Amino acid sequence: MRVIPAPNTPGSDLGGGGMSTPTYIPSAVMIGDSTVYGDQAGGPAQAWPAALGLLRGWTVTNAGINGSELVRGGSAGATPMVDRWQAVVPAGFAGHVLVLGGTNDYNTSRPLGRPGGSDPNTIHGALLTMARELLGRGPLMLHLLTPLWRGDAGRTEGTRNAAGYTLEQVRQAVRDTAAQLSQEFPGRVQLIDVGTSLRDWLSSAPYINADLLHPTGVGHVLIAQHLHVQVLGTDQATAPLYSREFGSLAPGLLDGQDSWTVYGGSYTVSGSGLSLAANFASQARGALRAVPGAASRAVMTYDPASIAAAGDGLILRGAHRLSDDASLCAWVIRGEEGIRLDWGTIAGTQVQSWAGIEGYALPDAGDTRVEIALAPGGMVEVRAWPVSGSRPATPMYTHTDPGIPLGVVGLVGIGAGPRTVRGVQVQ
């Protein structure tokens, strides 16, 4: 059985020393080569930086370039990482920087150099020079990643290149650099030995392409999941794009309050929340609100006691724009055996269910949250949990993303009676 290694501890993969606990802005720059860019996996949108950004709640800059090398004097047409990081990491940057390079330097037999060397025309020197300059750029957290496994013809693991060294020696250069810098910049440098930790995964299908060099889309998701549990450094809390407890609004009609538009039915605000009586069968759009920015998660908090009769329910919807009826939706509906969770897409009054009548059983009492989330690898996830509990790490359901961004949040009922929604949050 394959088990992804546990997260690094401060004393294990940092080259010694302890970690301080500064906080970092939820933003990251990934500097690297084609294994960062996402070559043969669909490009940056499908690469591990984008997937990691979704998992961590980061804004991500993918600065991977196909063929890019670490050292100066490398391949034409791709400025080496040691000289191009300045264009993507702003002065004073207080987020995360992840560097993954070296496989192209091995491929073209650039000089390896020696531990502690600072000549940017060598691998050791380019790594040390770039890392020191990055750490002086701002109060950022630097994560140094070792090159991924490769098995392409003539360059399989253990093969010495024209300069006489192996890819494993490049990985050791990254380890040496991290060890040295953890002494110079305590608590601000992390080694993530992904080239070793994920070797058994990335050396076989379905994680590696036929070229035995570039990860597949599935491989990129695996890398992101691994990095998600490995990355050290506490991030500052990310403010939601929109968050509203309806009981905090002025009592009365919802329409026009807090940028909500009601298209039909009754939506009334009181101290206990939003009471809505809008039957989806006749009021398909219900109430909608545009969300600023690019959202990846929408959450509805509701009162199950307000869903009293069989056939009654609530729909949480996320759509591309106010004029578009196509929506990603999660809905709760009471059946003969209690309240169930279902989800899918709705366009007008056309419903495509992804769970069906045997949906996940939900509590009959106690405020409950339902969430739709865009996940790495082109997937959509749905979760539900009691307000008194914690958001589950594992989703109830997953499905291929149909390509409907969460640009609008909406609420509508199933059945005629009033339902109570406590609040909505979008991130």
Domains of the chain, start order: 23-235 (3.40.50.1110), 242-426 (2.60.120.560)
- Over 80: is that where the pLDDT of 91 sits? yes
What per-residue confidence (pLDDT) applies to 291? 86
Least confident of 15-19, 299-303, 410-414: 15-19
Q: How many CA atoms lie less than 13 Å away from 186 in the CB half-sphere?
A: 7
- Over 80: is that where the pLDDT of 293 sits? no
- Over 50: is that where the pLDDT of 193 sits? yes
The Cα–Cα gap between 121 and 55 comes to 36
Task: Label residue 77 by pLDDT band (50, 70, 90).
Answer: low
Least confident of 50-54, 218-222, 255-259, 313-317: 50-54
Q: Where are the alpha helices (DSSP H) in 95-216?
A: 103-107, 123-137, 167-184, 194-197, 199-202
pTM score > 0.75 for this model?
no
Contacts (Cβ under 8 Å, ≥6 apart) of 123: 70, 71, 102, 105, 110, 111, 112, 113, 170, 173
Tracing tokens 């919802």 back to the chain, one arrives at 254
Query: Which tokens belong to 387?
Result: 């307000």
Least confident of 28-42, 171-185, 225-239, 347-361: 347-361
The residue type found at 298 is: A
The Cα–Cα gap between 323 and 144 comes to 45
Task: Label residue 73 by pLDDT band (50, 70, 90).
Answer: confident
What per-residue confidence (pLDDT) applies to 15? 36
Q: How many CA atoms lie less than 13 Å away from 138 in the CB half-sphere?
A: 17
What per-residue confidence (pLDDT) applies to 11? 29
pLDDT more than 90, % of the chain: 60
What per-residue confidence (pLDDT) applies to 192? 98
What per-residue confidence (pLDDT) applies to 297? 87
